[in-house]
Amino acid sequence: MSVAHFDLLKTDTVTAARRGRLRTRHGMVDTPIFMPVGTQGTVKSLTPAHLREIGAQIILGNTYHLNLRPGSDLVREMGGLHGFMGWDGPILTDSGGFQVFSLAKLRTMKDDGVEFQSHLDGKPCFLGPREVMQIQQNLGSDIAMVIDECPPWPCDRDATASACERSLRWAGQCKAIATDTGWLAAGHHLFAIVQGSTYDDLRREAAEALGALDFPGYAVGGVSVGEPEPEMLKQVGATTPFMPADKPRYTMGLGTPPQLLKMIALGVDMFDCVLPSRVARNGLVFTPDGPINLRNERYRADRGPIHPEVANYTSRFSRAYLRHLTVAGEILSCTLLTLHNLHFYLDLMAQARAHIEAGDYGVWHRAWVERYEAGMAAR
């Protein structure tokens, strides 16, 4: 398979940070990159115009949720997910594998897939390699994910090894379907997911076995499932060295701004997380000096912007006004604070790309994290 879809432009000499460029059917993506999460065909409270304004290059949708509501057949009839939601940039869709983990009480693992009870109405549904590939083809995903089994934390070795074996088998089946249907040849991408829980040797075996299958991209799975941050970073660091260097690397479903910078230093190219949009709905906003909660009484008459060093549309409003909207439960607060938080994440990735290019990523990211964490400690 050609690897011309991903150009590795520069690798940092001190850390494993990488500067790259990923080609998709709906445009180029500069990496490292953060991908706003639009689980049900929308990044909550924002329009596609908002997303473009703050520099979003690629967003996410979710196979499991979109197949339940409104249904992937309907989305296909409406022009695919791009046409349905009015977003003309790249879209990555998760396969629903995380729901195998998060909805454990509603599902049954089988060799050929996962039986679910819908969290909406309790109706039975099934996701296996053929189903997730058909759904993602209906959605018109630029980047699809294989279905996998995400072990919980903690997880014993035998159960982890079984999950890795099942995930490898399903990944091979997804790849065969994507090849046989001409989906890969048409320019869509399919990413494999490396599991292994806290077992370094299992992660290496999984990464090498999946690497031999020559996927267009690879993801670190099974992190941010309850383990402490040092263990999470250890798992990422135990996985990325054994992923193909000429393919994009994606860590799924996390994290805080410092965590993203630390994972870039470990060689990760792509991230997604609901955190910046979720906490915005509760009045929490990110700054270079750590997050602040605008519900705090101290901001009641504060005339300043969220932070003097962060410039976006939300910056034109005072902390006092943003606090008022939040405390009053006004819908506009969700839009303005989500816009700010996602811009903060996207701008941080732009800074990271610039410092990798400049050759000083190691020094810059350590200083950035130190300032952020010192600001948190001071509060």
Residues taking part in catalysis: 94, 272
In whole angstroms, give the CA distance from residue 203 to residue 221.
Answer: 10
What 3 state SS string does the chain have?
CCCCCEEEEEECCCCCCEEEEEEECCEEEEECEEECECCCCCCCCCCHHHHHHCCCCCEEEEHHHHHHCCCHHHHHHCCHHHHHHCCCCCEEEECCHHHHHHCHHHEEEECCEEEEECCCCCCEEEECHHHHHHHHHHHCCCEEECCCCCCCCCCCHHHHHHHHHHHHHHHHHHHHHHHHCCCCCCCCEEEEEECCCCCHHHHHHHHHHHHCCCCCEEEECCCCCCCCHHHHHHHHHHHHHHCCCCCCEEECCECCHHHHHHHHHCCCCEEECCHHHHHHCCCEECCCCCCEECCCHHHCCCCCCCCCCCCCHHHHCCHHHHHHHHHHCCHHHHHHHHHHHHHHHHHHHHHHHHHHHHCCHHHHHHHHHHHHHHHHHHC
Contact 177, 130 (CB under 8 A): yes
Contact 369, 261 (CB under 8 A): yes
